[in-house]
Amino acid sequence: MLGQRRRTGGIRWLPILLFGGYFLYYYFANQSEVPLTGRTQLVDITRDQEMSLGYQAYQEVLQTERVVRQGPLAQQVRGIAIRLIEAVRKLDPKADPGFEWDVNVIESPQANAFAMPGGKIAVYTGILPITANEDGLAAVMGHEIAHAIARHGAERMAYQKLVQMGSMAAGMAMSDMDPGTQRNVMAALGAGSKYGVLLPFSRDHESEADRLGLMFAAAACFDPTEAPRLWERMAAASKGAPPEFASTHPSHDTRIRQLNEWMPQALKIREQYCGNR
């Protein structure tokens, strides 16, 4: 038909080359370092921006949930958080970038806890039967504090931005292909990004938070050997978990194995800071 664009089936390389150049610039211009581990990470927002985003999200949660602000449980959770944050500073005075830490307990059957960017922490009462004791709760909270200290949220946003821009570049590069081929290739690229980049990346974050959280708990004089037992209880309480390759988190078996591998270092840290306590 006259005026209809002809589909040649070829790839337009200019969008790919432009994206490749931007990727290299973006990656090397936004390098940062994870405290304590020394891992190089990609972060493209300032700490102030990160703290602002975390504060906004935290306030939305507090406005929609039942918050336990007073009582023995709230005091216990805040006391554990204070010990863990002090431990972070003992291990590396520069690790805490001046977050305005805030800790709340949420009355909910969810077995959950989180730490928002900027140091906003919440513990759901539904996780308490699984934590079972103060050491188990410290393992969970140390893990969440590690996510905030390591800026995992900001790093995840940066990689998601790159994946989105890569998808746009791929779509432009294949604009001359027939629609069916385009859909098939984009679907394959989407699956590759999800299972080959984003999910493994998320699991690496969880493992890093497990390791840092274990060290925080040890330096705060909690019993680090409770951490693998916690994940044994978590495994018993979980139902229908997806296979590890399709999950944002390592399997329970992987987490238990890794925690046991890191345990000698954790015990050494506990002895250094706590002696026989």
The residues near 255 (Cβ < 8 Å, ≥ 6 apart) are: 206, 207, 210, 228, 231, 249
Q: Is 53 exposed, middle or buried (0-12, 13-18, 19+ CB in 10 A)?
A: middle
Identify the helix (H) or strand (E) that includes residue 91: helix 72-91
> Is 208 among the residues known to form the active site?
no
Give me the catalytic one of 33, 86, 144, 226. 144
Phi, psi of 122, deg, nearest 5:
-135, 140
Ranges of beta strands (E only) in 9-141 are 31-33, 40-42, 67-68, 102-106, 113-116, 120-124
Residue pair 113/140 in contact (Cβ under 8 Å)? The answer is yes
Catalytic positions, please? 144
